[in-house]
Structure 1
Amino acid sequence: MSAPRTLGGRPGVLVLIPLPEETLEALRRDYVLRYQPDGRAPITPTAAVRAVVTNGSTGLGDTLMAALPALEIVCAFGAGYENIDLESAVRRGIVVTHAPGANAATVADHAIGLMLALARGFAPLTQAVRQGQWHASRSARPTLTGAALGIVGMGRIGRLIAARAQGFAMTIGYHGRSPHDDAPGRYYSELEQLAENSDFLVAACNGGAATRHLIDRNVLRALGPRGYVVNVARGSVLDTEALLHALREQDIAGAGLDVIEGEPDVPAALLDHPDVLVTPHVAGRSPASLHAQHSALLATLAQHFGGARVERAVSAR
């Protein structure tokens, strides 16, 4: 879907995050592209930019919005938009959009993969074999089948994780702001109680101030020395200092982290721990998910600049 040519020329689009070359080529074709993937917007005001492409992590604040007086629309490339200042956007009449569900299946796959790899010890066992410890490393390991799974956040991703977990005959519990009549498993209003009744605790909730350090020292202690925590949500959801303490004191069995506070900087203690897996915020990245996000972005821009209703708007004019 191509963007219309406007009387004043092609709209200017500022991109603040790394994007696939396919997406950049499409934007160059229909828009005047300014590509600054390190997240820095122009310091001096410019009237050329009418759209910004960002994501939930990089976001867009009031100061940068003010530096773009012609800004009309902010597009989050993906589902998250927690660091986009919605209040400022509404006040300035700026549309904010995202791509809900575009990478949900891929994130759910990644979460299951981390759980399975942690339980079966793929990383430490591979290292043991490399070090010639074949026989010494052949002790029994836990598995997913029949285990108890606690999901923090029963949205699109949480539901897909639950669906996959049911294939392993796992029992499901979940925590969120409120129960859902159509959600699988038991609802826990208290996160510590969910953790206490889980072998695996997976964070799949939104980021932002409301969920910052939702998984803290008390929750990890409740998870227990045989429990694993997995974070495919946002780094801020899991208190890093609490996690380091829990690992050091053997309060939990291990952790699978796709997102970390302060990423890409990762504490050495996490990287050195044999029962911690760290992936570089790639849970939502697959050819299929990137294509879906690509399509959603182009369709959203075309709708906006073509005067049509923007289907994926979080806030509208």
Structure 2
Amino acid sequence: MAPAAATAAKWSGKPPALPSLLLIRRVDASFAAGLRQRFRVLDFFASGEPLPAFLAAAEAPRAAVVTGGVFLAWHFQLGGKRIGIIGLGNIGSLIAKRLEAFGCVIYYNSRKPKDSVSYRYFPSVHDLAVESDVLVVACALNKDTRHIVNMDVLDALGKDGIIINIGRGANIDEAEMVRALKEGRIAGAGPDVFENEPEVPAELLSMDNVVLTHHVAVSTSESRGDLRDHTIANLEAFFSGKPLLTPVLP
């Protein structure tokens, strides 16, 4: 009997229904485990068999799952994340306000607790990092805040944590941050400022889990206009003998 006739006879005169074809970009370990819990899964690559032999033993599968194509990395869900802000001044407070709109939980470290906010205060940056998914550095640079984010703070942030710096580069021990990224001790980083600007560590340029900007977090036409108006208002107050809007305190 010819092969086609034999196949038809095997299926009682009716040709077998072709399996559905499912194209999935990527099957990671958790997804594969979920499939196996619900369905009987035959894995061609794990079988070690030639494709014809694998298909012959597949007993008329209901679906063929094909993985491949271009895979885009999973995006980071912001809502519900615990955000630790170092420096809840004007900029830090505005960051917190915007993150609240995304449903984030805001924690902060500052020189002292602020009665005007309900966010949880941490006197220790290390303890703040332990409780945070993302650490945002938004403080000024002085002798107390130089390397305020060091090896211990990065390790406290942990392998799933992300560090963002829009303050000053030396607020973070940059060499230690690079090591933590390379060793997988933190998940990612988003520095806008660098410790030895304009120099940027070469290792950061090749990392997929790092987003770099060149000290432009404030560079919008609106913010430049606000800065100009604020500076003029400070000058007018000074020459009029009035209190400055934003005095520089010793």
TM-score under structure 2 length normalisation: 0.68
Q: Which residue of 2 aligns with 1:263?
A: 197
For residue 138 of structure 1, report the CA deviation from its aligned partner. Answer: 4.0
Q: Which residue of 1 aligns with 2:242?
A: 309
**1:57-116 CA distance string (max 9 Å, x none):** xxxxxxxxxxxxxxxxxxxxxxxxxxxxxxxxxxxxxxxxxxxxxxxxxxxxxxxxxxxx
Q: Which has the larger radius of gyration?
A: 2
Q: Which residue of 1 aligns with 2:57?
A: none
In the alignment, the residues of structure 2 paired with residue 137 and residue 240 of structure 1 have an alpha-carbon distance, to the nearest angstrom, of: 31
Out of 203, 217, 235, which is 1:283 matched to? 217
Q: Which residue of 1 aligns with 2:148?
A: 214
Out of 122, 126, 132, which is 1:188 matched to? 122
**1:196-223 CA distance string (max 9 Å, x none):** 1111100011112220000001100111
Aligned residues: 182
Out of 221, 230, 248, which is 2:182 matched to? 248
Distance of aligned partners of 1:315 and 1:232 in 2 relative to their CA distance in 1, 3 Å threshold = closer
Structure 1 gaps of 5+ residues are: 1-133
Question: In the alignment, is the contact (CA less than 8 A) between 2:160 and 2:186 conserved in 1?
Answer: yes
Question: In the alignment, is the contact (CA less than 8 A) between 1:216 and 1:238 conserved in 2?
Answer: yes
Question: In the alignment, is the contact (CA less than 8 A) between 2:233 and 2:245 conserved in 1?
Answer: no
Distance of aligned partners of 1:140 and 1:208 in 2 relative to their CA distance in 1, 3 Å threshold = same
Answer yes or no: is 1:160 the counterpart of 2:160: no
Distance of aligned partners of 1:289 and 1:221 in 2 relative to their CA distance in 1, 3 Å threshold = same
Q: Which residue of 2 aligns with 1:198?
A: 132
Out of 207, 211, 216, which is 1:273 matched to? 207
**1:129-176 CA distance string (max 9 Å, x none):** xxxxx8342454331011111110111111111111111111111111
For residue 188 of structure 1, report the CA deviation from its aligned partner. Answer: 1.0
Distance of aligned partners of 1:264 and 1:185 in 2 relative to their CA distance in 1, 3 Å threshold = same
Question: In the alignment, is the contact (CA less than 8 A) between 1:232 and 1:259 conserved in 2?
Answer: yes
| Letter in structure 1 aligned against 2:231 | L
Larger RCO, structure (CA 8 Å, separation 6 or more)? 1
In the alignment, the residues of structure 2 paired with residue 182 and residue 288 of structure 1 have an alpha-carbon distance, to the nearest angstrom, of: 27
In the alignment, the residues of structure 2 paired with residue 245 and residue 307 of structure 1 have an alpha-carbon distance, to the nearest angstrom, of: 52
Q: Percent of aligned pairs with the same residue?
A: 37
Q: Secondary structure at the match of 1:212?
A: coil
In the alignment, the residues of structure 2 paired with residue 165 and residue 177 of structure 1 have an alpha-carbon distance, to the nearest angstrom, of: 21
TM-score under structure 1 length normalisation: 0.54
Out of 47, 71, 82, which is 1:148 matched to? 82
Question: In the alignment, is the contact (CA less than 8 A) between 1:155 and 1:205 conserved in 2?
Answer: yes
| Letter in structure 1 aligned against 2:121 | Y
Answer yes or no: is 1:297 the counterpart of 2:221: no
Q: Secondary structure at the match of 1:135?
A: coil
Q: Secondary structure at the match of 1:241?
A: helix
Q: Which residue of 1 aligns with 2:112?
A: 178
Question: In the alignment, is the contact (CA less than 8 A) between 1:159 and 1:183 conserved in 2?
Answer: no
